[in-house]
Amino acid sequence: MKIYLIRHGETEWNKDRRLQGQSDVPLNAYGRELAEETAKALEREGTIFDRAFASPLSRALETARILTAGRDIPLETDRRLMEMNFGAYEGSAFDPPKKDPAHPLHDFLCRPEAYVPAAGAESFEQVMTRARSFLEEKILPLERSCKAVLVAAHGAFNRCLLGTIQDMPLEEFWKVGMPNCAVSILSLDAGKFAILEESRIYYDKPVNVRP
């Protein structure tokens, strides 16, 4: 079985380089265009999804709906697929914290292995725990009945999910480039996950690769 793990299309906050987290920021027009291009490319490759899952946040859910449009595919939302929660810092610009070691988001962006979330925010470990839970409870049982499954989620979450599969150290977290609508292709064989391809895009110029 193959799992197509996609990051949502572009939003205005992506374009403005702002931290979205669990704030419900919708796709912009270009984000919808990227999702439509990706859907057409996957269709040309003969990819037919048997099931689809999405974060309930509108930018991921609309991306999934575009990729499954015109097909009778069950699409289920799951809160475990939501983006990492950044608490009061959602909406903050990315660039200032990178230059300020005293900023609470500096470690998140520059030294993820040292990141300590502020009150109300999530740690990398918490996000990885819910990613593992989703894979075990929702994806593993489909191995014998499905050939291709779509999972539409978010940049930091998708990196956490990939990290749980390949046991990636947090020091390497941002080494994985993940543009909007990047598709990572996983396999599931005899209960074991493997990464076949990371962050493939189906349009010309990657956008919003890293914060």
Query: Residues with catalytic annotation?
Result: 8, 83
User: What string of DSSP letters covers the chain?
Assistant: -EEEEEE---BHHHHTTB--TTS-PPB-HHHHHHHHHHHHHHHHTT---SEEEE-SSHHHHHHHHHHTTTS---EEE-GGGSPPP-GGGTT-BSHHHHH-TTSTTHHHHH-GGG--PPTTPPPHHHHHHHHHHHIIIIIGGGTTT-SEEEEEE-HHHHHHHHHHHHT--GGGGGGS---TT-EEEEEEETTEEEEEEEEE-SSSS------
Cβ-contact 181, 9 below 8 angstroms: yes
